[in-house]
Structure 1
Amino acid sequence: MSKAEAIAQILKVFRQYGYEGTTLSRLSKATGLGKASLYHYFPNGKEEMAQAVLNFVDEWMKANIFVPLKGAGTPRDRLEKMSENVDRLYCGGEQTCILAVLSLGEAKDLFNIQIQQALKSWIDTLAEVLVEARIEPTLARQKAEDAIIQIQGSLVLARSMDDTAPFQRVLKRLPEMLLENGNG
């Protein structure tokens, strides 16, 4: 198993168990790698693994959220593409947000700055698209924040209620909600 493949499996464990609940035994079982092999890839242990997961998600978001939002097409087209990719990121609402998971407990102290930056970048990029759609900058920022709140809240609800319908509903309505009062 390559390091990249291991990170993808490690991500699943952190999403399911959080930072504190993720153990080397669970990571070993999920990756099929022995503890020695995990330490070969990640000499600093669980903290380095969580950092690798955050870096992986950060790169994924850059390629699949930020690039499409900054790309060609109308603001509506770009927001619809973002919604499609957010759906993929969270497996239709079946997966939790790793940023949310790693913003709790001990992990918050370790990764708070990186998580804040990821969310700020997402909000800023969304707001830029909305300003381009002729929405006043202050309102654009508020709408961008509200979009992240709706996405994250619907993920919590989907997981808690074991029903992805609220998440799907939010993503379906998101472009329209964001563009209200604009010309996008």
Structure 2
Amino acid sequence: MDTKSQMIEIATNLFQQKGYKGVGVNEILKVCNITKGALYHHFPNGKEELLIACLKNMDEAITTDIEVIFERCQTTMEALHAMIEKLVANLDREGTITGYTFSSIVSEMASLSEPVRNACSDLYTKMQGIYSKKLVADGFSKETAHSIALMMTATIEGGIMLCLTRKTSEPLKIISQGLPNLLKGFI
């Protein structure tokens, strides 16, 4: 793995664990075992540019994972259950849901940095697009699918945050059970 990719991978984990403000440049340098010059060589605008690279990296990983699950499953409901089962298994096994959550970064940085807000918005938009596409394939109109996809995104993201703050997978399990009722409300 090249230095830049290694920096992105390590910094992503640090940002997810401690938040953007909780991670200093010196900590990134130490954990990555690089010099300040190497950081600024790859990311001339510093820590914020590194954060945006991390968000784009997460974007790829998350959307690819969701797409694989949604392509493999016959219906939106099957795909949602499979996705939530995976999140629950990760949480139960690791005590966290790394790689899937960036909500803390959104709440911490979106009002302070337009480029960070845009990177986060892009990921949410892609997630909603995957959900919406599957809902249209299930027979929902584009408008209804768009509305349901937005609610699914908000519900799952909120569920992830509740799981992390409560240190239990119960909120996602309850969401998984309640999602069929959400879809029935639109039929």
- After TM superposition, the score normalised by the length of structure 2 is 0.75
After alignment, is 47-56 or 159-168 more displaced? 159-168
Match in the other structure for 2:156: 151
Q: Note the 1:10-49 alignment, pairs <5 A.
A: 10-49=11-50
The change in CA–CA distance for 1:144 and 1:107 in structure 2 (over 3 A counts) is same
Gaps of 5+ in 1: none
User: C-alpha offsets along residues 89-121 of structure 1, whole Å, 9 cap, x if unaligned?
Assistant: x94271472254135346542322232222122
- Structure 2 Cα separation of the partners of residues 166 and 151 of structure 1: 9
After superposition, the CA RMSD in angstroms is 3.1
- Structure 1 Cα separation of the partners of residues 66 and 126 of structure 2: 10
Gaps of 5+ in 2: none
Q: Note the 1:110-125 alignment, pairs <5 A.
A: 110-125=115-130
Q: Percent identity?
A: 23
Q: CA deviation at 1:52?
A: 1.0
- After TM superposition, the score normalised by the length of structure 1 is 0.75
1:103·1:115 contact (CA, 8 Å) conserved in 2? no
For these two proteins, the number of residue pairs brought into alignment is 179
Match in the other structure for 2:64: 63
1:14·1:101 contact (CA, 8 Å) conserved in 2? yes
User: C-alpha offsets along residues 16-63 of structure 1, whole Å, 9 cap, x if unaligned?
Assistant: 332233211221233233333333332331122111101101211332
Match in the other structure for 2:177: 173
